[in-house]
């Protein structure tokens, strides 16, 4: 009977330590997942900011490109050749 009582007391202690261990593991897991979640949100915000920056740069480039196309050497040369051919055909 004493052995059963000792075993029962030992099992209560083991149960107590197991519960504490699992609570600690659960707390660490929740903390890790929360930090990972925050990092994912920050990464997503950084990517969105990067996409927005690239989009703004593309818009500026398109505006610049549309202006530049008017003065691009090939376009200027085409315009000169076209005007020369019109003048040559007129005379």
pLDDT in tens, 10-64: 898 999 999 999 999 999 999 999 999 999 899 888 888 888 888 888 777 766 6
Q: Which two tokens stand for residue 17?
A: 């330590």
- The CA–CA distances, whole Å, from 65 to 44, 53, 59, 74, 75 equal 31, 18, 10, 14, 13
Residue 91 has pLDDT above 60, yes or no: no
More confident residue, 91 or 83: 83
pLDDT of res. 44 = 86
Query: In the chain, how many domains are there?
Result: 1
What is the domain extent for residue 84? 2-90
Residues 6 or more apart whose CB falls under 8 angstroms from that of 69 comprise: 75
pTM: 0.46
* Distance between CA atoms of residues 33 and 53, nearest Å: 30
Task: State which H helix or E strand residue 68 sits in.
Answer: helix 2-71
């Amino acid at each position: 009977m004493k052995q059963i009582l000792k075993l029962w007391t030992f099992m209560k202690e083991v149960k107590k330590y197991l519960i504490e261990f699992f609570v600690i593991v659960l707390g660490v897991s929740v903390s890790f997942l929360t930090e990972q979640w925050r990092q994912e949100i920050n990464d997503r915000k950084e990517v969105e900011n990067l996409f927005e920056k690239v989009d703004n740069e593309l818009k500026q480039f398109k505006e610049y490109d549309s202006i530049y196309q008017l003065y691009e050497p090939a376009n200027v040369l085409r315009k000169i050749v076209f005007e020369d051919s019109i003048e040559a055909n007129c005379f």
